[in-house]
Each structure stands twice: as C-alpha cells, then as structure tokens.
Amino acid sequence: MTSPFDLFALMLVISSILAYFNYKVLKLPLTVGLLVGAFAGTLLLAGLNQIYPGLALKSGVRHLLQGVDFPSTLLKGFLAFLLFAGALQVNFADILARKWTILALATLGTILSTFLVAAALCGISGLLGLALPLPWCLVFGALISPTDPVSVLDVLRRVGIPRPLQATVAAESLFNDGVGVVLFTLMLSLANGGPTSGLGIERVTGLFLLEAGGGVLLGLALGYLAFLMISRVDDYNVEVIISLALASGTYSLAGILGVSGPVAVVVAGILIGNHSAEPAMSKNTREHLMIFWRLIEEILNALLFLLIGLEIAAIDLYWRNLIAMAAMIPTVLAARWLSVAATALPFHLHAQNKFGSLLILTWGGLRGGLSVAMALSLPDVAVKVPILTAAYGIVVFSIVVQGLTLAPVTRRLTPRA
C-alpha cells in the first residue's frame, strides 16, 4: 500500500509539472490551468486503459489511492486551511454593508439550491434508469450548492465591479461553505440511516442552528485570543505560526465540541484579516502572512483537482452517468439563479442594475475545492460513482467555462461609469 507521504510527494511533483506547463504553454489562470491539466490526464489514463487493458492502469490508480483516508484528509485537513485563507481576504466593513443579503444567500440560498438540485437529480436519474434515492440526491444537492471564492475574486477585482458586489460574492462563498458542510453532514447522516435519520424537520433545523451558531461563537473566541497574541509580537514568522495554529486548532476543537468547524474557521479568519490587520500587524508582517496563505490556497486546490482526477480515472464510467452529468450542469446553474433571485432580490428591489447583479452572482458562483472534497469523502456505496461523476463535470465546467468567461460577462453586465 502506498503511504500518504508517497502519494503527497507524487501529487506535488505532478502539480509542479502542470503549473510549469501552464505558465509556459497554456498561460491560463493557475487554478484553471491545473484543472485542465488534471482533466487531460484523466482522459489520457482512461483512453490508455481502453486501448491497452493489459497495463491495468485503473487497478494501479486504485492501489495508489488506498493510502488516503479521504474524509479525514479532505474535510478535516484541506478544508480548514482553504476556508481560513479565503476569509483573510474579505473586508469586514463591506460585509456589514450587505450583511442581510449575504446572510440570506449563504443560508436560505444554499438550502433552497440544495433542494432544487436534489429534486432535479431525482427526476433525471429516474428517467435514465439510475433511480438515485432522494436522501442521496439531497447529499448531492448539499455538496454542489456551496460556491468557491478562490477562482472568482481576482477576476472580479480586475474587471472593477463595485466593492459591495465583490464583498457579496466573496463573503457568501465563504459562509455558504460552512453552511454547505453542515447540510452535507446532516444529509449524509440521513442517507446512511444515522442518528439524525429519525428526527423531524424541527429537530434537524435546531441541530443546524446549533452547529452554525456554536461555530460563530468559537471562531470569535479563538480569533480574538489569536489577535491578543499577535498584537504582542512583531515577528512575521511567529505570527504565521499563530495563524496556522488558529486555522487547524479551531477546526479540530469545533469537531470535539460538536459545532461547525468551517463556520468557526471562517469567522476566525475574517477577524484576523480585519481586526488584527492595522493595530496588531506591521505592513511587512501582513504582506508575508497574505503571501503565505495564498500559496497554501493554491497548493491545496491543485492537490484537490489532481485527487479527483485520479479518483475519476480509477472508476468505471457509464454512459448513463455521463448523460446525467451533462444534464446537471445547466440544471445546477438554473438552481443557482433561482436561489439567488429568491433570496437576494427582495433586499434590492429598488436597486439599479439589480438583474445584472443577480446574473453576475449566478455566473460567478463557481464550484471548486469544497464540492470536490465532499464528493471524494463519500463512503464506498453504489451511488458514489454517479454522484462523483456529476460533481466532477460540474466543477470542470464551472472553473473552466464560467471562470474564463466571467470577465467578459461581468464587463457586459456592469454599467459603464
């Protein structure tokens, strides 16, 4: 069996090769280039396995992946650092200015999208003869509904859209990641017949609010403690170590206390990125801290895309699953638009260019690392293959097509000064 370190080293080597090739040849944004490279590698492995079955490439990839405990590695490892890195970049004043819109999008919007996507998947899978059970359709809805801020923020800044809209996209993505993980955990427990399977909607809602609210309080407490420590030193090496401890320790303690780790990490990251920036950190320290966390973000996203590429290469792809994947791409976009319109529009009925903003929020709602992590962490049940296939196709389309066209779409929808 391959050790986790061997697999990690191999993934880093492949990531560096893809990053170099992208820089020299493709010249795409790094996230897009890495995903395109991983996707091309997946197709190459699948093609070689069909042409030369004697090479046993699929069994080799399966053997390689046996050394990874996906639930622990992804949902308890990568996610804490990805969310913290994203939260550091969000401006708290801009969040406060649109707090109700962000709250509605991150909670009600994510929940509505989860049920819309689940209903659509049930119908599509039934027509194709897959007949996915409703609880597993809800699991898929929960894992694909959260959006990813990593790939979209730089594009929005370059285009020059108003800061409040930038803040809405970024903050909603961060908080709906936390909400999405809580929903995913609850839905997965229901699908597996776990402890929440016999509870009514009121009890499930209560558990959801308890996890999310507890996460907010824990993030505030530990974030403020880290702020006090940072304010008493002036050494960026020490302060980077404190930030690492904050991200990992907050997520770990949240799991022990039974509250939402993603929400806690996001709150702690926003507090450190804003409250600590001016009074506690020098300009030099802040620059080193942000560079460090951007690098962590890029590396972890690269590894996630490679992992899901290897996972797809290791499974058997069936035409029904591929058709379901193709059908779910526009369906997820439609569910995103409906959920955004239903939750954000009531707060902006009299705003200028409100429909343009809704379309930007829809097209800019990219899926990425979180959806990948949750899909890979599913238990080895029969429904995992169609769910993983659909999630992979949606993430590829989202990052490549939506990511590369977001700038022209945003320019077209944003009024000229």
Model confidence pLDDT, tens digit, residues 289-330: 989 998 888 888 777 777 777 777 777 778 899 999 999 999
Residue 103 has pLDDT above 70, yes or no: yes
How do residues 129-151 score in pLDDT, each as one tens digit?
Answer: 988 999 999 999 999 999 876 66
CA–CA distances in Å: residue 150 to residues 138, 242, 412: 25, 23, 22
Flag whether 9 is in a domain.
Answer: no
User: Which pLDDT does position 312 carry in this prediction?
Assistant: 72
The pLDDT of 175-180, averaged and rounded, is 84
What mean pLDDT do residues 118-128 have? Answer: 95
Measured over all CA atoms, what is the biggest interatomic distance in the chain, rounded to whole angstroms? 65
What is the band of 202 on the pLDDT scale with cuts at 50, 70, 90? low
Spatial CB neighbours of 268, under 8 Å, sequence gap ≥ 6: 84, 87, 219, 220, 222, 223, 226, 246, 247, 250
Query: pLDDT for 3-50, tens place per residue?
Result: 667 777 888 888 889 889 989 998 887 777 877 887 788 778 777 877
Nearest-angstrom CA–CA distance, 168 and 20:
33
Question: What is the per-residue pLDDT for 133?
Answer: 93
**CB distance 141 to 117 below 8 Å:** yes
Report pLDDT for 158: 62
Q: Return the structure tokens found at 89.
A: 């970049």
Q: Domain for residue 109, yes or no?
A: yes
Q: Lowest mean pLDDT: which of 102-106, 215-219, 356-360?
A: 356-360
Residue 65: its pLDDT value, please? 67
Query: What percent of the chain is modeled with pLDDT above 90?
Result: 28
The mean pLDDT of 187-202, rounded to a whole number, is: 70
Average pLDDT over residues 329-342: 95
Q: Which CATH number is 159's domain given? A: 1.20.1530.20
Distance CA 383, CA 64 (A): 22
| Long-range CB pairs of 7-14, under 8 A, 24+ apart, other chains included | 7/64, 7/65, 7/67, 7/68, 8/303, 10/64, 11/302, 11/303, 11/306, 11/307, 12/299, 12/303, 14/41, 14/306
Domain assignment present for residue 302? The answer is yes
For 384, residues 6+ apart whose C-beta sits below 8 A from its C-beta are 378
**What are the pLDDT digits (tens) for 339-374?**
999 998 787 656 677 788 888 889 988 887 778 778
Residue 42 lies in a domain: no
Q: Does the structure show a pLDDT above 60 at 97?
A: yes
Q: What is the pLDDT of residue 124?
A: 95
pLDDT score, position 72 = 63
Residue 197 above 60 pLDDT?
no
Residue 390 is predicted with a pLDDT of: 92
Q: Residue 313 domain-assigned? A: yes
| Residue 198, pLDDT score | 55
Alpha-carbon dihedral sign for residues 272, 274, 280, 281: positive
Q: Let me know if residue 20 belongs to a domain.
A: no
Of 8-12, 59-63, 216-220, 252-256, the poorest mean pLDDT is in: 59-63
pLDDT score for 64: 66
Tokens of 295: 């690098």
The Cα angle at residue 96 between residues 276 and 339, in degrees rounded to 5: 125
209 and 178 Cβ atoms separated by less than 8 Å: no
Over residues 84-112, mean pLDDT: 87
pLDDT of residue 20: 92
pLDDT digits (tens, 9 = 90+) for 251-262: 999 989 988 888
Q: Is residue 39 part of a domain?
A: no
Residue 221 lies in a domain: yes
Among residues 361, 384, 372, the alpha carbon closest in space to that of 162 is found at 361
Residue 86 vs residue 315, higher pLDDT? 86
For a pLDDT cut of 70, what percent of the chain falls above it? 85
- Region of poorest pLDDT, from 183-192, 231-240, 346-355: 346-355
C-alpha pair distances (Å), 210 with each of 155, 192, 259: 35, 22, 7
Q: pLDDT at position 112, please?
A: 95
Residue, of 205 and 51, whose pLDDT is higher: 51
Residue-number span of the structural domain to which 317 is assigned? 69-413
Q: State how far the Cα of 187 lies from the Cα of 316, in Å rounded to an integer.
A: 26
Spell out the residues 6+ positions from residue 383 whose beta carbon is closer than 8 angstroms to its own: 132, 133, 136
Q: How many domains does the chain have?
A: 1
pLDDT at 327: 96
Q: What angle do CA 86, 89, 94 make, to 5 degrees?
A: 115
C-alpha pair distances (Å), 326 with each of 124, 168, 221, 368, 376: 11, 29, 44, 17, 19
CA-nearest of 231, 236, 212, 215 to 285 is 236
247 or 148: which leads in pLDDT: 247
- Residue 175's contacts (CB-CB under 8 Å, 6 or more residues apart) are 102, 103, 106, 107, 263, 266
Q: What mean pLDDT is reported for the chain?
A: 83
pLDDT at 155: 60
Give the Å distances, CA to CA, from 128 to 72, 86, 319, 323, 331.
Answer: 33, 38, 10, 8, 15
pLDDT of residue 417: 45
